[in-house]
Amino acid sequence: MNLATISLAYLRARALNTTLNVLLLALGIATITLLLLATSQLEERMQRDARGIDLVVGAKGSPMQIILSSIYQLDVPTGNVSWKQAQELARHRAVKKMIPLALADNYKGFRIVGTNHDYVQHYGGRLAAGRLWQKPLEAVLGAELAVRTGLGLGTAFIGAHGMGSGEGEHMHETYTYQVVGVLAPTGTVMDRVVLTDVTSVWAVHADQYDIKDVARIAELMPEEGKELTALLIQYSSPLAAAILPRYVNQNSEMQAASPAYETARLFSIIGVGVDVLRGFALVLILAAGLSVFIALYNALLERRYDLAVMRTLGAGPGKLMALMLFEGALLAGIGVALGLALGHVLTELLGVAFKAAKQVAVTGWAWVPEELWLIGLALAVGIFAALLPAWRAYRTDIAGTLARG
Amino acid sequence: MFDLRNLSHAYDGAQVLQVAAWQVEQGSQWLVLGPSGSGKTTLLHILAGILRPTAGSVSIAGQNLTALKPADLDRFRGQRIGIVLQRLHLVPSLTVVSNLLLAQYLAGLTQDSARVREVLASLDIADKADAYPHELSFGQAQRVAVARAVVNRPKLLLADEPTSNLDDARCAQAYGLLESQARACGATLVIATHDQRIKSRMSNHYELKERA
């Protein structure tokens, strides 16, 4: 017999009421947990994908669209830039490294990215099987893509024109890609793309030039046909940030976009929605607090004789106060435990449901430090809701209560 | 055993109780008699230490209650005084055993389930140990209330109208329980009642007068 057994006995005696309060609190906590997990994982993933890329250069258009299309493989590209201009830019003293990207096609919704071996190196790619591409129309698969499409070493496939969003796309049936390598998982955007040489993309789209020898495409392709979609750039020094974007925007038909700035902007836009949901969840928690308060207050009225009797049995007023506070904290504790569990399970279910969406990967089996704050918040709400009932319990007039009953 | 002197109590300035002097020996058994509104319950509450009298001194087992600090008074009440209330007031969400353990816990004593079983057995309700109060008949519930009052072996056992609303047989039974349990732990017994049926059973009477 102690405070906990007495509180539990009371909560059990009001099982329905207890369940409702716990559920109300758990729903609020679960919503916030889900938001915390999803945004933190999304943010981490996006930061990982953009790490080490100081600037992205693409065709004139929306900077955010350039970032989304070239780093995250989410949006459609703004257009093309010429190979010649790209080469000139690569020689600029502010550029340390430049990774070319040529995007045009997809395989079953996964993008085919024409690039060079620097891309693989940049994302820390290691081969799980085979080798990297050496000539046009050789392809290396990202880890997740290989698993999901069932393509493997030695298999062949043809690409579909477009970014994989529409149906009934035009298939490039004349050109067949050979899979020569499969990458190990990196946890980045690279896991979900087909990698090939820039020249593969040129070859597939060179119908009007009538080039027979695909192996020599780089020589045979006329200059105006050599196009890229975007350039991933690493600065040679911090000073470059002040020079290069302006140089690109003023002296070329290209557009510079800063991943750091654009992702921050993206999160501030998403953040509005997240804040609304978070506010809604907080309202749920406050409602739960109010409900706990009403439940405890009614319980106090129901229990005034019990409390008076406990005083006759030797309990000091502090003990009765502690009993009410403990009960509030216990309700909150059960609610927050259930809410956290529910939040993690829901996030995991969301992750499973979104697997098909190819771009978003969230898991419920991860923790964020903010969850400790949630526990604190819930307990504070529970104890705060119990304050007035606890004070009333503290002030119980034993003789008066017993004389009336 | 207890010693009341110049005791008076008033609610909102209206005097409801006056006791010039009343001394009682340890182990003796008393009836406090008087019609409704004569202050029986008030006197019992003062003896139990749950009500501080407006004036006068209360000394129980050599301890002056009016001089005790609130926390010490709570402990003193839990350990030395057993109370059987008219409406029993068992805690409904706790089993019979837990109601008795609660009395030990709240009095700050060691929880002794052997003692709990012993008391329940002596009152013939050992088989109801795990029942909840709402599963008991009134007679059984009254036994549990008596058990809870004596489980800590009090020096003073108080009962407020224990026999009202009971038929003659049950009235005799209830009185018998209190009398034998008080004797078993050597406690002084004080029963407040307006029930004339038990008047003949006890020789020590303290009469309170009806107040205008």
Task: Convert the pLDDT of each residue in A144-153 to its tens digit.
Answer: 999 989 999 9
| pLDDT range class, residue A189, cuts 50, 70, 90 | very high
pLDDT value of position A171 = 83
Contact criterion met (CB < 8 Å) for A9 and B94: yes
Region B28-49: what's the mean pLDDT?
Answer: 91
**Which whole number is the average pLDDT over A327-334?**
93
Which range has the worst mean pLDDT, A354-368, B127-141, B179-193?
A: A354-368
pLDDT of B212 higher than 70? no
Note the pLDDT of residue B120: 95
Q: Output the pLDDT for position A74.
A: 87
pLDDT of residue A356: 61
Closest Cα in chain A, distance from residue B151 (Å): 11
**Chain A closest-CA separation from residue B46 CA (Å):** 9
Q: What is the CA radius of gyration of chain A?
A: 31
- Find the angle CA(A397)-CA(B9)-CA(B90) to the nearest 5 degrees: 35
Please report which confidence band the pLDDT of residue A236 belongs to, taking 50, 70 and 90 as the band edges: very high
d(CA A267, CA A3): 47
pLDDT of B184-202, one tens digit each? 999 999 999 988 888 888 8
What is chain A's mean pLDDT, rounded? 90
Chain A residues with CB within 8 Å of chain B CB = 1-2, 5-6, 9-10, 12-13, 305-306, 308-317, 319, 398-399, 402-403, 405
Per CB-CB distance under 8 Å, the chain B contacts of A403 are 41-42, 45
Domain spans of chain A, in order of start: 3-46+266-404, 55-257
Question: Å from A311 to nearest chain B CA?
Answer: 7
For residue A217, name the pLDDT band (cuts at 50, 70, 90): confident
Q: Looking at the predicted structure, is the pLDDT value of residue A358 above 60?
A: no
To the nearest whole Å, the CA of B173 is away from the closest chain A CA by 24
What would the two tokens of residue A180 be? 């020569």
One-letter amino acid for residue A188 of the chain: T
Predicted confidence (pLDDT) at residue A310 exceeds the cutoff of 80: yes
| Structure confidence at residue A95 (pLDDT) | 94
Does A10 or B209 have the greater pLDDT score?
Answer: A10
> CA-CA distance, B212 to B204, in Å (whole number)?
26
- Please give the CATH topology (third level) of the domain spanning B1-60+155-212: Rossmann fold (3.40.50)
Question: What is residue A405's predicted lDDT score, i.e. its pLDDT?
Answer: 63
Percent of chain B with pLDDT over 90: 75
pLDDT at position B176 over 70: yes
- DSSP 8-state class, residue B66: G
Model confidence, pTM: 0.81
Contact at CB, A314 and B75, closer than 8 angstroms: yes
Q: What is the token pair recorded at B154?
A: 């009090």
User: pLDDT band at residue A352, thresholds of 50, 70 and 90?
Assistant: confident
Region A6-33: mean pLDDT is 92
Residues in B closer than 8 angstroms to A399, CB to CB, are 42, 45, 50-51
pLDDT at A363: 86
pLDDT at A360: 63
Residue B157: pLDDT over 90: yes
The amino acid that residue A239 corresponds to is: L
SS3 for chain A, per residue?
Answer: CCHHHHHHHHHHHCHHHHHHHHHHHHHHHHHHHHHHHHHHHHHHHHHHHHCCCCEEEEECCCHHHHHHHHCCCCCCCCCCEEHHHHHHHHCCCCEEEEEEEEEEEEECCEEEEEECHHHHHHCCCCEEEECCCCCCCEEEECHHHHHHHCCCCCCEECCEECCCCCCCCCECCCCCEEEEEEECCCCCHHHHCEEEEHHHHHHHCCHHHCCCCHHHHHHHCCHHHCEECEEEEEECCCCHHHHHHHHHHHHCCEEEECHHHHHHHHHHHHHHHHHHHHHHHHHHHHHHHHHHHHHHHHHHHHCHHHHHHHHHCCCCHHHHHHHHHHHHHHHHHHHHHHHHHHHHHHHHHHHHHHHHHCCCCCCCCCCCCHHHHHHHHHHHHHHHHHHHHHHHHHCCCHHHHHHHC
The model's pLDDT over A57-86, given as tens digits with 9 standing for 90+, comes to 999 999 999 999 999 998 889 999 999 999
Write out chain A residues lying below 8 Å of B104, CB-based. 1
Question: Which residues in chain B touch residue A302, judged by CB atoms under 8 angstroms apart?
Answer: none
Interval A105-142: pLDDT, tens = 999 889 999 999 999 999 999 999 999 999 999 999 99
Q: Is the ipTM of this complex over 0.90?
A: yes
Amino acid identity of residue A19, one-letter, is T
Contacts of B98 in chain A (CB under 8 A): 1, 5, 9
Q: Indicate whether A399 pLDDT > 60.
A: yes
Mean pLDDT of B152-165: 92
Interface test with A, best of B42, B47, B79, B91 (most A CBs within 10 A): B91
